[in-house]
């Protein structure tokens, strides 16, 4: 497989958080980004999942 380089900008805090999460998962950040690009190009759609943090309101 030939490889290509993609450069994009993000803020430093987002980069650090993403690297931390990827590290905790034991997956290189570049692998996660490649998986996202593969899904985007394969399906032609974007999938986002969000979770709301646990608060006192939700604990009741």
Q: What pLDDT was estimated at residue 24?
A: 94
User: What pTM did the predictor assign?
Assistant: 0.70
Does the pLDDT of residue 5 top 90, yes or no? yes
In this prediction, residue 55 has a pLDDT band, given cuts at 50, 70 and 90, of confident
- DSSP E strands in 1-60: the ranges are none
Integer angstrom CA distances of residue 39 from 53, 58, 60: 27, 33, 38
How far is 32 from 28, CA to CA, in rounded Å? 7
CA-closest candidate to residue 36, choices 24, 51, 18, 53 = 18
For the record, the structure tokens of 60 come out as 């009741």
């Amino acid at each position: 497989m030939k490889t290509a380089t993609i450069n994009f900008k993000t803020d430093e805090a987002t980069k650090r958080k993403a690297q931390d999460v990827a590290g905790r998962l034991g997956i290189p950040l570049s692998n996660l980004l490649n998986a996202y690009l593969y899904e985007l190009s394969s399906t032609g759609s974007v999938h986002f999942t969000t979770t709301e943090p646990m608060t006192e309101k939700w604990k009741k």
